[in-house]
């Protein structure tokens, strides 16, 4: 007797599956808590400047505008905003297994600290006097950065994750966020990936398991009520 289920293969695209999941009104949500933080993951030239770097990608052309909007509202409400970007020392001795898998001019290990690829996209409205800025070396924004300590100090209970890639550093950060006990929210329009399948498959998985995947307007509305 079969008690569980066999793997489904029904011909739907990743986007179709995502749309079907999001259309389910019965899906339980984690919801917002009392205080959130915006964690903007890797809005750096290596991943945002599609006119300049092979490693860059774009899903919604307004992605950075949306991240700026919710970041500004969070600041106004006295809630923390964090920006991360990834880079390594010139020798790549700090890149680890993940960073040194390949070694080409476009490889991860060749995003050098202080380089053009490491720099934040100048469309990002970063308030350097208020926002926390971390250089990370692994996918999650939590891994070996001060992020956890910052969230504890600010008594944050909800983490909003934006950035790229949806299937990589956004997903890793969201999973780590939930694992640390935070309500975790991923605004759809603020995330990007190289391929539609990667993007929507991972949004689906996040929605089903690890986060509330919502329209960015929902985050805007919540913050505007508190700003």
Q: Tell whether 24 is covered by a domain.
A: no
Q: What is the pLDDT of residue 121?
A: 98
* Separation of alpha carbons 48 and 192, rounded Å: 9
- Reading phi first (left if > 0) and then psi (alpha if -120 to 50, else beta), residue 188 is in alpha
pLDDT band of 26, cuts 50, 70, 90 = confident
The number of CA neighbours under 13 Å toward the Cβ of 83 is: 22
* Separation of alpha carbons 91 and 78, rounded Å: 40
Over 90: is that where the pLDDT of 5 sits?
A: no
Q: Tell whether 4 is covered by a domain.
A: no
**How much of the chain, in percent, has pLDDT values that exceed 90?**
94
Count of domains for the chain = 1
Q: Tell whether 106 is covered by a domain.
A: yes
Q: Which two tokens stand for residue 39?
A: 């964690």
Q: Stretch 28-54: mean pLDDT, rounded? A: 97
Q: Tell whether 180 is covered by a domain.
A: yes
Domain span including residue 120: 30-224
Q: Tell whether 209 is covered by a domain.
A: yes
Over 90: is that where the pLDDT of 29 sits?
A: yes
Q: Where are the beta strands (DSSP E) in the chain?
A: 36-41, 81-86, 132-136, 158-164, 183-187, 191-192, 212-214
Catalytic residues: 169
Q: What is the pLDDT of residue 10?
A: 93
Contact 74, 66 (CB under 8 A): no
- Residue whose C-alpha is closest to residue 148's, from 20, 62, 13, 39: 39
As a whole number, the mean pLDDT across the chain is: 97
Q: Tell whether 202 is covered by a domain.
A: yes
Q: Tell whether 1 is covered by a domain.
A: no
- Residue whose C-alpha is closest to residue 219's, from 190, 191, 187: 187
Question: Is residue 178 exposed (0-12), middle (13-18) or buried (19+ Cβ within 10 Å)?
Answer: middle
pLDDT digit string (tens) for 93-103?
A: 999 999 999 99
pLDDT band of 128, cuts 50, 70, 90 = very high
Distances (CA, A) of 140 to 172, 177, 199: 5, 9, 17
pLDDT digit string (tens) for 72-124?
A: 999 999 999 999 999 999 999 999 999 999 999 999 999 999 999 999 999 99
pLDDT band of 27, cuts 50, 70, 90 = confident
> Would strands 212-214 and 132-136 be described as parallel, antiparallel, or unpaired?
unpaired
* Separation of alpha carbons 52 and 167, rounded Å: 22
Q: Tell whether 17 is covered by a domain.
A: no
Over 90: is that where the pLDDT of 184 sits?
A: yes
Task: Give the CATH number for residue 216.
Answer: 3.40.50.850
């Amino acid at each position: 007797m079969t008690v569980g289920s066999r793997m489904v293969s029904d011909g739907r695209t990743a986007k179709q599956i995502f749309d079907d999941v999001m259309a389910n009104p019965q899906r339980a949500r984690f919801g917002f808590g009392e205080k959130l933080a915006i964690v903007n993951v890797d809005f750096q030239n290596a991943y945002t400047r599609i006119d300049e770097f092979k490693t860059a990608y774009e899903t919604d052309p307004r992605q950075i505008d949306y991240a700026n909007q919710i970041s500004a509202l969070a600041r106004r409400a006295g809630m923390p905003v964090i920006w991360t970007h990834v880079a390594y020392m010139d020798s790549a001795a700090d890149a680890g297994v993940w960073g040194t898998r390949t070694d080409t001019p476009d490889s991860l290990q060749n995003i050098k600290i202080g380089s053009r690829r490491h720099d934040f996209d100048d469309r990002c409205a970063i308030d350097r006097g208020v926002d926390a800025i971390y250089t990370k070396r692994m996918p999650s924004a939590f891994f070996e950065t001060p992020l956890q300590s910052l969230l504890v100090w600010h008594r944050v209970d909800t983490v909003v994750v934006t950035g790229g890639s949806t299937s990589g550093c956004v997903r890793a950060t969201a999973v780590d966020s939930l694992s640390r006990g935070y309500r975790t929210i991923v605004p759809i329009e603020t995330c990007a990936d190289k391929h539609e399948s990667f993007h929507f498959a991972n949004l689906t998985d996040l929605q089903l398991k690890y986060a509330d995947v919502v329209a960015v307007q929902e985050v805007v509305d919540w913050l505007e009520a508190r700003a």
